């Protein structure tokens, strides 16, 4: 479950940081 969370959080955070 941790891997899945990280896999979804990685692109999510990257998109937020990139969009900001």
How distant, in Å, are the alpha carbons of 2, 20 from that of 12?
Answer: 15, 12
Percent of the chain with pLDDT over 70: 60
End-to-end CA distance of the chain: 28
Average pLDDT of span 3-20: 76
Average pLDDT of span 1-20: 74
Q: How far apart are CA 6 and CA 20, in angstroms?
A: 20
Q: Count of alpha carbons within 13 Å of 2, Cβ hemisphere only?
A: 0
* pLDDT confidence of residue 6: 67
pTM (predicted TM-score): 0.23
Task: Please say if the pLDDT value at position 2 is more than 80.
Answer: no
């Amino acid at each position: 479950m941790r891997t899945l969370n990280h896999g979804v959080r990685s692109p999510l955070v990257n998109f937020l940081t990139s969009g900001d």
